Amino acid sequence: MANTLLMPKATAVWLVDNTALSFDQIAQFCSLHPLEVKAIADGESAQGIKGMDPIITGQLSRDEIVRAEKDPNYRLRLSEPKVRVPESKRRAPRYTPLSKRQDRPNAILWLVRNHPELKDAQISRLVGTTKSTIEQIRERRHWNAANLTPMDPVTLGLCSQIDLDIEVQRASAGKPAAAPTGETLLPAAMTERLTPAVDGRREEEEELDADKVFAKLSALKKTDEADDEE
């Protein structure tokens, strides 16, 4: 099996907190972008992820870390694994146990509704089904369509959250971000133009109200004078 780093982001968290390695060195070792490592150091990324010590897991030696801390241009190297595990070959479509096959239509319906960007081939890889079954559920032509209930395939144990996230990222790659919907705040320039007009209107109304009051007072005064003359 190829010698690859386990849990790269958790390893990066540990290296940021416990070593003096540069962001570039950690990024190269963990296959991350230097800006992502910087975000981890600033607390903007990987929040809630517990750091994993690569020394305990046997993937990195203490001498290798010390050597890299002394030389910023040095690139960390994975330690050779002590135990060789035969590489498992993934087959498509994924094999699904008999006990879970009845849940596949519900999982397909969930994927079609919640991730319409996924292609049929991706759904097939995730839950181990056929393209014809996906088309029948998508077009509501499945023999049990009336009784299907959308259910998360991760919760059903048909695929892992990591596999689902990878397929969603692949399907969304290169697509423009969705335009914001709903009401938004007016720009500051528009509100600044509106404010004087509103204030001016209020001043005019106040002036009009004052004139009405004085007119009423004058009318009452004349009425009282007329009564006194009589």
Q: What is the pLDDT of residue 1?
A: 42
Residue range 181-193, pLDDT digits in tens: 555 555 555 555 5
Contact 36, 45 (CB under 8 A): yes
Per-range mean pLDDT, top range of 14-28, 32-46, 211-225? 14-28
- Tens of pLDDT, residue by residue over 197-218, are 445 555 555 555 556 666 766 7
Residue pLDDT, tens place only, 53-93: 998 888 889 999 999 999 989 999 888 766 554 544 554 45
